[in-house]
Structure 1
Amino acid sequence: MLVKICGVARLADAEALDGLVEYIGFIVEPTSPRAVMPEALGALRAAVRRSRTVLVTASLPPKAAVDLAAESDISVVQHHGALAEEDYDYAASRGVALAPVAVYRPGADLRAAVEELLRRPHEYVLVDADKSSQERYEGGLKIPLAALRQVVGLGKVAVAGGVAPENAHLVAALRPYMVDVASGVEASPGVKDMGKVRALLKALGRG
């Protein structure tokens, strides 16, 4: 099971996480408390030599996000928005992989959404919670385990949404391709807590 730590905004955190987890994510949304300014991406990227790097955005047009990733030598764009066929083609032409996102919403067909995204070229498909929802499920997760069970075996499916050291064992039992964590391993927004990171890895059977 792979691990992505998202919302990395400090050079010290990027250096500490490098090689410890498979993916390190940089958020370029100005409204995020974990936002990284585009001009800071180069230094953060340079600190990462062993893990793969991910540019995370919702508001940037897909091609602009791909361009920013390519210019910053970032491997993957995780886009929390709609992606057209031409976006996949453009990303491939720039040597950048795409990681599309399926959002869990009660009553919606999550499995169908994930299956559709898996049909296109992808680094992974992220299953995430609706950012506007305050709902909590088993162990404080933002997506019910029953919904996750329907999709984790379909392919390279990553799971996010309230994952933390305290509940990671619940997700680990489902054996997803990857677990994606941001706030669950922080001392404060944008400041990672390496003790919590180690506790997360242990809960996932990696410590």
Structure 2
Amino acid sequence: MKVPIRSLTALGVALAAILPGTASAQSYQVDCAILLCLAGGWPASAPCAHARAVFIQRITPWPIEPPLQIWRCPMGVAFDGSAPLSNMERLYDITFKAEPTISVPDPTGPLVPVQADERADVDISGDEFDFVRSIRVYHIQFSQRQNRDGDCIRSDNTRLGSYGTQGDYHWARSSVAQVPTASDLPRPGGCGSVSYRSVFVDWRDHAGNYGFEEVRY
């Protein structure tokens, strides 16, 4: 069944109405599903529950992967030769007519924040895809303590993973001062003793609603 989705404004309603009965959790491209479900605010459905689980699994060490790997979702192709489809119509067809491609972290490997120069195979620079660029991944590695001389010894190796204009993903140096307050990161006054490691991801859906998850390790 072809379901027209002309804009991301209509996407959330379409997802809520369509996803619960269209496909099992094993019958779609997982990154296309992440893209659709994230845009729609993760509506309740088996496909979106699975997509969100993979999204979070990827930031669970080790390694720390881009939670959305948009280059794995072939939006530039369609499954039929009929009238030209919009990007979102193609995305819907790909999501529910293809087999999944799932990246599973290797628990035996070292902690490696993964870079990715790959990008979406269509132009996603428009405002309707701002929700992709809203995704931020903070790898928090912070500790502080006071030594016998009263000096405050701090170590802050926090890094930020973010998405570029076309969905490419890169890491940059950051700090705990930049970590959103939604994180459980302790923020004691003075030089209170802290040892904290986690991966925190947040995002906004196409309607601007805020969401986040955090994984301690």
TM-score bracket, normalised by the shorter chain, equals: under 0.3
Structure with bigger RCO (C-alpha 8 Å, 6+ apart): 2
Structure 1-normalised TM-score? 0.25
Structure 2-normalised TM-score? 0.24
Larger Rg computed on CA atoms:
2
Higher helix share: 1
